């Protein structure tokens, strides 16, 4: 595959409508996170931006995995820090426990990825506030971003584009 084919979107380029929807969703999620005085409000639009890159049907399953993983990572991270502190050994144990819990409950691997990311954010970034405050805020910030992205995708859907080759074929057949 040539470099140009890797860079230039031929299958699924962004549209003006997609850019507008994504912008509105990111701004709305950031403003709502600010209204709730969430300490790291930027996580809401980051989560929204991730959700907005797919159609509603495609983003719903991964959003549920992200929600579950974030909840698991936030809760587990807070508990491990309270019980064992924030050492790299405690972090390693938390990552292992998250994986084991996902395996036992047969939760998707993507949820484990999000749980591990949340663990890292909670356990490895020094802060002066309560660990439960940090964990709850992280969960709310990400959940808000997911919810806004899904809501806007449902209320303001983007029409799925057909493959240009398929459109040409169907036009010729008519």
Give me the residue spans of the domains in the chain. 16-157
Mean pLDDT, the chain, rounded, equals 88
Note the pLDDT of residue 5.
63
Q: Please, which pLDDT band fits residue 170 given cuts at 50, 70 and 90?
A: very low
Alpha-carbon distance of 152 to 64, in angstroms, equals 16
Alpha-carbon distance of 103 to 23, in angstroms, equals 37
Q: What is the pTM of this model?
A: 0.82
pLDDT tens by residue, 10-47: 666 678 888 999 999 999 999 999 999 999 999 999 99
pLDDT tens by residue, 88-131: 999 999 999 999 999 999 999 999 999 999 999 999 999 899 99
From the CB of residue 42, how many other CB atoms can be counted at a distance below 10 Å? 13
């Amino acid at each position: 595959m040539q470099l140009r084919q890797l860079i230039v979107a031929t299958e699924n380029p962004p549209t003006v409508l997609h850019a507008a929807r994504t912008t509105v969703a990111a701004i709305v999620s950031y403003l709502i996170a600010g209204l709730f005085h969430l300490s790291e409000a930027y996580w809401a639009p980051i989560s929204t931006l991730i959700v907005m890159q797919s159609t509603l049907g495609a983003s719903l399953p991964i959003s549920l995995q992200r929600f579950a993983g974030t909840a698991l990572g936030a809760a587990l991270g807070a508990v491990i820090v309270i019980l064992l502190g924030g050492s790299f050994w405690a972090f390693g144990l938390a990552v292992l426990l998250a994986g084991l819990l996902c395996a036992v409950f047969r939760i998707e691997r993507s949820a484990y990825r999000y749980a591990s990311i949340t663990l890292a954010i909670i356990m490895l970034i020094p802060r002066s506030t309560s660990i439960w405050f940090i964990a709850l805020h992280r969960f709310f910030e990400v959940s808000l971003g997911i919810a806004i992205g899904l809501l806007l995708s449902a209320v303001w859907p983007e029409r799925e584009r057909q493959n240009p080759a398929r459109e040409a074929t169907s036009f010729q057949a008519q």
